[in-house]
């Protein structure tokens, strides 16, 4: 049986990956996605990067996760500045995570 020299992928990659692959003498076959498919694959990539971060916990994996978030913002036409305004408004309204609070339970007051 002949060994295949092809590895099949169906995953979103960073922009320089094809040139990195080709610098090793291999050929990268890529496709440019339309906006809808790009967002679909970004969502898949977001889950993938989150799982890698949860397994590894490294700052590098966290950086990958943020890069996907930035790509999603760009895909949705939201600037980093607008995103930051949204984030800060949410912090103002509901707080951040600085106090390290864990909600254990809520006790309902008796109504009379």
C-alpha 23/C-alpha 16 separation (Å) is 11
C-alpha 12/C-alpha 76 separation (Å) is 17
19: Cβ contacts below 8 Å, ≥ 6 apart:
none
% of the chain at pLDDT higher than 70: 96
Q: What is the pLDDT of residues 10-39, one digit of tens each?
A: 999 999 999 999 999 999 999 999 999 999
The domain spans of the chain are: 33-94
Q: Please classify residue 43 by burial: count the beta carbons closer than 10 Å to its beta carbon, then call 0-12 exposed, 13-18 middle and 19+ buried.
A: middle
Tokens of 89: 């408004």
Give the predicted TM-score (pTM) of the model. 0.84
Helix (H, G, I), strand (E, B) or coil at 23: coil
């Amino acid at each position: 049986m002949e060994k295949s020299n092809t590895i099949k992928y169906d995953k979103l990659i960073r922009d320089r990956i094809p040139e990195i692959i080709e610098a090793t003498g291999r050929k990268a076959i890529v496709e440019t996605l339309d906006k809808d498919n790009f967002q679909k694959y970004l969502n898949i990539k977001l889950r993938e990067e989150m799982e890698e971060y949860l397994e590894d916990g490294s700052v590098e994996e966290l950086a990958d996760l943020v890069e996907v978030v930035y790509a999603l913002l760009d895909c949705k036409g939201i600037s980093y500045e607008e995103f930051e305004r949204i984030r800060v408004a949410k912090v103002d309204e509901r707080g951040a995570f600085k106090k390290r609070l864990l909600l254990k339970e809520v006790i309902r007051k008796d109504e009379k």
